[in-house]
Structure 1
Amino acid sequence: MIWKVSMHLSSAVFLLFGSICCGAWSLLLMAQSVTFILEWDFCFLNSCSMVMSLIFDYVSLLFLSAVLLISSMVLFYSGDYMEGDKSFNRFMYLVLAFVGSMMLLILSPNLISILLGWDGLGLVSYVLVIYYHNEKSANSGMLTVLSNRVGDVAILLSIGLMLGLGGWNFIFHCVDMSDSSCLVMKGLITVAAMTKSAQIPFSAWLPAAMAAPTPVSALVHSSTLVTAGVYLLIRFSPALIESSVAIFLLFISCLTMFMAGLGANFEYDLKKIIALSTLSQLGVMMSILSLGFADLALFHLLTHALFKALLFMCAGVIIHNAKGYQDIRRMGGLAMSMPLTSACMVLSNLSLCGMPFMAGFYSKDTILEVAFMSSLNMVSFLLYVLATGLTVCYTARLVYYSMTGDFNMSSLSAVGDQSFVMTSPMMVLSLGAVMSGATLSWVLFPESYMICLSPFMKMLALLVSLVGGVIGYVLNFMNINYSLVSLSSLPYVGFMGSMWFLPHLSSFFLSSPALKIGDIAQKGFDKGWLEYLGGQGAYSAAGGLSSRLEVAQGKTLKILLKSLVVWAIVFLFIQI
């Protein structure tokens, strides 16, 4: 027990100190408009220098400060949540390895070095998803790792294509990438970011990754794994301006946030509801990136990381007290027995919905107003409006089922907020959920955006949020949702509640055809013709030739030696 406490406490203190240092350094670099780039040359290949690069500017350091802050809170929180786990040390090392991979990804402006952090995130996330060693975790981990491998292949292909630009430091080449010469490479980078940030059609792995422990979910689905794709596109944002790839990304991201918001209204698993809300907010970030506002995407990325980590921690406290129950229909009335956790959860939910003067309001409301002011088509505009209303709708539904109503935990009457180790990080992140929006807006936008909208468009986001909240609460309060789920409407409810059948389609394509083709390829090529004509064939051919050569060389040497002896005797006889 002493080792466990000292380990999670020392790790949390170390990461918190690093977060403070990175935050202070980012403010200093922002004030001086300075960027530092460190490079280590390894070799030259066809006039391209292969280097290991690190970039230190206000974007990377500010994001790194948020990641380290959330990581320190999650590690401290894990000291109580994972207290009874037999593999606590392994869990802590895996989380620290995950944070290290994310740090490498954030600080890398080089496409080759960024691949180390990119693959490290994928590998460690797979190990964390299968942490509990059951069939569900194994299936979820396989779906997660295979979906992310698509992005890894896209990064590898883009590395090969970027060779023609004379280097892999994309920071220096983004402005020069035109659609005529670099369209394929920009498409590959966008596909890689879509897989990591779970955009359609790669969305199925994000709710499936909820099989990991809740502290991992608080870290992975707030500021690290799922935001890696958004951060990569923030760095590549100059190449996406006025590109045909941006139009495709806008449509996909708007569709993703609508699909996630719709699916969350039919979900009853507490962690999956929060995961779908993460997916919806990732769609918001991707959509504003495609419109060319990378600074707003970074702003929402930072605020979302703080209040979403808090929301996952509150869910973890509830699940921990409920002895593993995650169905929100088995909860209810938690505001009376867990007032502190309920207050923190309501704070994070209000911030998620964009409640005025909460952290999410400053970033989300600005994104919506800038998007409405941009040249959006009607489909994207409607998806934005509907997704905003659905966010408040499923949030009100979640609050109704878990916080209010009757207590439905039957014999589990001893739930409470007694754990200081779990509640103290929540209090720290609650300050972030309330204050980070205003603070970051002052820091990132010393000159505010000039937004010109009509009064109706200005009030549209607030109006849609109010309507969505009323609908979400009334439908569940009056039990109308139960009457809607009848046998006649079951196919439609099943379609909307299962993320448009994306989990089934993903597992189908990954299981039946893919594995059969892989088995045929392994038997026909890897263990067939490639073995016969490749390694084993070359080995047997070389072995036969070498044995023949050995025999020939042995006989030839004997003949030569005998001939030399005979000629020597003849020469001596002639001399005599």
Structure 2
Amino acid sequence: MCYISFIILFCFSFISFFFGMYFIMNEFSIFIEWEVVSYNSLSIIMTVLLDWMSLIFMSFVLMISSLVIFYSKEYMEMDYKINRFIMLVLMFVTSMMLLIISPNLISILLGWDGLGLISYCLVIYFQNVKSYNAGMLTALSNRIGDVALLLAIAWMLNYGSWSYIFYLEFMKNSKEMLIICGLVMFAAMTKSAQIPFSSWLPAAMAAPTPVSALVHSSTLVTAGVYLLIRFNILLSNSIMGNLLLLLASLTMFMSGLGANYEFDLKKIIALSTLSQLGLMMSILSMGNYKLAFFHLLTHALFKALLFMCAGVIIHNMNNTQDIRLMGGLSMMMPLTSSCFNIANLALCGMPFLAGFYSKDLILEMVSFSYINFFSFFLYFFSTGLTVCYSFRLVYYSMSGDCNFSSLNLLSDESWIMLKSMFGLLILSIFGGSMLNWLIFSSPIFIILPFYLKLLTLMVCLMGGFMGYLISNISLFFVNKSFNNYNLTYFLGSMWFMPFISTYGIIKNLLMLGMAVIKSFDQGWSEYFGGQKLFYILIKNSQLNQNLQNNNLKIYLLSFVFWMMIICMFIIFL
């Protein structure tokens, strides 16, 4: 089933990509309406929008999902129910397809809810307490956004149709559309894990690694960004856009800081996803929706590759995810290490790899824009943090000696996984330049002062150097600042957001519930209710039983004797 799914998705990906190129070169789009039900004045219409954006995004999602399914053939080979896993992944991809091609809020909700439901099934796929807790946090966090989308659907009744694409341009200044924009932005923030809904993203790492590669590159977390790209007209020059800029910049900063304190390999990559989502959201809030879409596509390529490499490393290291137990992997697993390092460099924005074209362009546009100093600082400092945790990850995993058990065999013999990784490796190297030529019809040439032009490069170099200093244990004076437990715990726990999302909401309610149970259910109501009734019944039944066993028999016998004596007395008289 893996091979059939891989071939079908791969073919559909190529078809979609060629159609996307044709549409973008001819500035062409197709809008299909199908009237499902028509009864008197009621008509339910299914709409499909095929333009260059939806077709290219569909091709990327299908390409990555096909390679992920191919990769799962070997990664999940010990799973007896692998066909069930493949079916769940295919349903996940289908939900995403429905969301991408829908210009209608109702059909978007079908895909949106499908993603939320199937992501829960995939997160709890390895059935244990940790997976269950992570699945519940993921599902319930996403339900908040689903409610916001349902409310937006209700507000769309003001316009007589749910095809929002008809009303965005000329109704953008109305109060109803402002409320709809706020609700859609709220829904997108939950799905793309922006502050204060960030805690579910690292928790969702309980899912199998192929699922993480799919979720973090092109499906679940990018759904919110894609929806806001469609609603971009409402965000530019509005209070909603300014609020989104602040929250997205803080998300980018918070996740970059947290990744530098993390030792779980998958969580570091998950926090890097969160950082890049913040970057996409923040540049989108400034009105550059094409740049946000460009970075969405390039990020999908190297992030899927990064997770696949992490999966191979975890697979080889006997399911160990702690980077402190790794080391020297470049000598033992050269092919996987090469892919891992190239994906990391693409994430950092190394010149002429996929990430460079989008990240460098975004930062130069930020330098070119009218933006306050605080947002400017968060953009560039978060970029430095990205390079910092990437170099720290490479330092711990690739250099030095292996810190794992001596009887552990590491090798690059997982050929099926390597083939799928090589496919993404080529795209991670050449995808950025190819998309740059495709999406932007004329080259973007930004003229800046010399020092501002070099600022991105300087920030990246400084971030890499700081990553080396933090990792090198011998430099005690740098690590001394990391010994403050409270500060480390605050920064490493995503500013206590996971605790706020779980214990912070539930603890007081659970305590209240316990007090109610003790005072009422097991207290007064129990004493005067069920227990008292039970006690009275027991006492009465015991009395009745004593009477029946002893006293009643004696009384009856005495009565009979007395009656006999009386009768005899009467007869003899």
What TM-score do the two structures reach when normalised by structure 2?
0.87
> Relative to 1, partners in 2 of residues 1:463 and 1:113: Cα closer, same or farther, differing over 3 Å?
same
Aligned equivalents of 2:350, 2:234: Cα separation in 1: 34
Q: Name the counterpart of 1:319.
A: 314
Q: Name the counterpart of 2:166.
A: 172
Structure 2 contact 6–69 (Cα < 8 Å) conserved = yes
Aligned equivalents of 2:476, 2:81: Cα separation in 1: 42
Q: How does 1:212-251 map to 2 (within 5 A)?
A: 212-251=207-246
Q: Which sits farther off after the overlay, 243-252 or 41-50?
A: 41-50
Letter in 1 for 2:134: S
Aligned equivalents of 1:318, 1:217: Cα separation in 2: 15
Letter in 1 for 2:397: S
Q: How does 1:153-232 map to 2 (within 5 A)?
A: 153-181=147-175, 182-232=177-227
Q: Name the counterpart of 2:132.
A: 138
Structure 1 contact 48–163 (Cα < 8 Å) conserved = no
1:150 equivalent to 2:137? Answer: no
Aligned equivalents of 1:445, 1:324: Cα separation in 2: 43
Structure 2 contact 99–111 (Cα < 8 Å) conserved = yes
> Relative to 1, partners in 2 of residues 1:180 and 1:36: Cα closer, same or farther, differing over 3 Å?
closer
Q: Of 325, 335, 340, which residue of structure 2 is paired with 1:345?
A: 340
**Structure 2 unpaired stretches of 5+:** 517-573
Letter in 1 for 2:267: K
Structure 1 contact 207–276 (Cα < 8 Å) conserved = yes
1:456 equivalent to 2:417? Answer: no
State the Cα deviation string for residues 22-73 of structure 1 (Å, max 9, x = none).
0001111112211111112245799785321111111000000000000000
> Relative to 1, partners in 2 of residues 1:120 and 1:487: Cα closer, same or farther, differing over 3 Å?
closer
> Relative to 1, partners in 2 of residues 1:508 and 1:292: Cα closer, same or farther, differing over 3 Å?
same
Q: Name the counterpart of 1:115.
A: 109
**Structure 1 unpaired stretches of 5+:** 1-6, 522-576
Structure 1 contact 49–167 (Cα < 8 Å) conserved = no
Structure 1 contact 56–107 (Cα < 8 Å) conserved = yes
Structure 1 contact 47–166 (Cα < 8 Å) conserved = no
State the Cα deviation string for residues 364-408 of structure 1 (Å, max 9, x = none).
100111111111111101111110000000000000000111111
| Cα displacement (A) at 1:414 | 1.2
Q: Name the counterpart of 1:416.
A: 411
Q: Of 19, 22, 39, which residue of structure 1 is paired with 2:16?
A: 22
Structure 1 contact 36–55 (Cα < 8 Å) conserved = yes
| Cα displacement (A) at 1:411 | 2.6
The residue matched to 1:448 in structure 2 has which SS? Answer: coil
Aligned equivalents of 2:308, 2:431: Cα separation in 1: 18
Q: Name the counterpart of 2:118.
A: 124
Structure 2 contact 473–479 (Cα < 8 Å) conserved = no
Q: Name the counterpart of 2:546.
A: none
Q: Of 28, 46, 54, which residue of structure 2 is paired with 1:60?
A: 54
Q: Name the counterpart of 2:279.
A: 284
> Relative to 1, partners in 2 of residues 1:518 and 1:149: Cα closer, same or farther, differing over 3 Å?
farther
Aligned equivalents of 1:449, 1:498: Cα separation in 2: 39
Aligned equivalents of 1:508, 1:159: Cα separation in 2: 32
What TM-score do the two structures reach when normalised by structure 1?
0.86
> Relative to 1, partners in 2 of residues 1:141 and 1:493: Cα closer, same or farther, differing over 3 Å?
same
| Cα displacement (A) at 1:174 | 1.3
> Relative to 1, partners in 2 of residues 1:77 and 1:518: Cα closer, same or farther, differing over 3 Å?
farther
Q: Of 373, 376, 382, which residue of structure 2 is paired with 1:387?
A: 382
The residue matched to 1:86 in structure 2 has which SS? Answer: coil
Instruction: Work out the number of aligned pairs and report it.
Output: 515
| Cα displacement (A) at 1:485 | 6.2
Structure 1 contact 261–276 (Cα < 8 Å) conserved = yes
| Cα displacement (A) at 1:240 | 1.4
- Of structures 1 and 2, the larger Rg is shown by 2
> Relative to 1, partners in 2 of residues 1:269 and 1:404: Cα closer, same or farther, differing over 3 Å?
same
State the Cα deviation string for residues 130-164 of structure 1 (Å, max 9, x = none).
11110000000000000000110000000010111
Structure 1 contact 196–225 (Cα < 8 Å) conserved = yes
Letter in 1 for 2:378: L
| Cα displacement (A) at 1:475 | 2.3
Percent of aligned positions that are identical? 56
Q: Name the counterpart of 1:468.
A: 463
Structure 2 contact 172–233 (Cα < 8 Å) conserved = no
Q: Of 304, 307, 324, which residue of structure 1 is paired with 2:299?
A: 304
Structure 2 contact 259–271 (Cα < 8 Å) conserved = yes
Aligned equivalents of 1:16, 1:481: Cα separation in 2: 51
Aligned equivalents of 1:404, 1:333: Cα separation in 2: 5
The residue matched to 2:47 in structure 1 has which SS? Answer: strand
Aligned equivalents of 1:115, 1:90: Cα separation in 2: 25
| Cα displacement (A) at 1:105 | 0.6
The residue matched to 1:227 in structure 2 has which SS? Answer: helix
Q: Of 93, 96, 104, which residue of structure 1 is paired with 2:87?
A: 93
